[in-house]
Amino acid sequence: MQTMKFKKGVNMMKKQTIIYTVLCGLMSSASFASSHNIDDLMDESKDHLRTPKTKVAVSRITSSDFTPDSKKMLRQKAVKMREEEKAEEEAQRKIQEEKDRLVKEAQEKEQAEAEAHAQEMLSLQTKLKALSVANEGELEKLRQENKQLQKAKADLEKSKQDLEEEQTRIQKEIEVKQTELTQAESDLKAAKTSATQDAEKITLLETSLASKKKLITVLDSDLETTKTKYAKISKDFQETSLRAAKLELDVESKAKELIRTQEQLTSMKDHVFGVANSNASSSAPAPVKKKNIMPVVAKK
């Protein structure tokens, strides 16, 4: 008796399993299950709701004997499964929404960082351009100053040469006058010791001798003045030469600095245009990858 009940129970479980499997297959379609429930499928008066596949499945189910309890349990299981499927779908939807939100947030963050980086580079480019203009102006100013200094140096050098020539001329003239003075002294001495002294000639010789001495004194004074001027001009020339040499080094250094600044500016322009292109491509769904750029430090 117990064996028969056991076999009957096993058969009932097999039948329930078949029914459950068939209904689960029917319930797997979300669009179909959302529009129809199990009672609609089982109701003969709603045959228009059934597809050929559904009709075959329902026919298999209804041709088998099962109790109201088994039908109720089967319905509960099917409903529970559908609820679980809906819950899983909802969870997947939320996960996908969260994933999309995170991706969008990451893209916006990357794009904002790229735009901020581009603005920073544009600002740096503006500063470099201003520095380049300032360097050009300062270089031009240094060149003009150097030009004026070179002219002053050339003028001093010419004045120095003129004074050297003047000193040479005065020295030669003094030598000539010294020779004349010596001759005049000799003539005067001879005239005074002559047996037949000529008073008028002696007076003329004395006057000439005094004039020559006075002229030599004037020439000596001119020579000293020329030497003083020459010493001052020589000092000015030396100082000007040192300033000119230093200024030439400053001009060379400023020219090199300007070249470096212009090279940095060119490099910065290429980088900014590169970032701009990256920003343009960042509007696509794919995440924007920010470039790693070494900072450029401009010298003053």
* pLDDT 10s digits, 49-88: 556 666 666 565 555 555 556 667 777 777 788 888 888 9
| Residues 143, 148, 154, 160, CA torsion sign | negative
Q: Which of 171, 155, 153 is nearest to 227 (CA)?
A: 171
Opening angle at CA 62, ends 59 and 66, nearest 5: 150
**Residue 228 in this model has a pLDDT that exceeds 60:** yes
**Residue 92 in this model has a pLDDT that exceeds 90:** yes
Q: Which two tokens stand for residue 106?
A: 């990451």
**Residue 232 in this model has a pLDDT that exceeds 70:** yes
Q: Which of 83, 124, 70, 72 is nearest to 271 (CA)?
A: 124
- Higher-pLDDT residue of 29 and 63 is 63
Distance CA 24, CA 20 (A): 6
For residue 284, what pLDDT band results from cuts at 50, 70 and 90?
A: very low
**Count of residues making up the chain:** 300
**Residue 188 in this model has a pLDDT that exceeds 60:** yes
Residues 236-242, mean pLDDT to the nearest whole number: 90
Write the single-letter amino acid at 129.
K
Domain spans of the chain, in order of start: 2-103, 126-281
Specify the CATH number of the domain 126-281: 1.10.287.1490
pLDDT computed for residue 200 by the predictor: 83
pLDDT computed for residue 133 by the predictor: 83
Look over the chain and give the mean of its residue pLDDT values, rounded to a whole number.
75
Write the single-letter amino acid at 227.
K
For residue 8, what pLDDT band results from cuts at 50, 70 and 90?
A: low
**Residue 279 in this model has a pLDDT that exceeds 60:** no
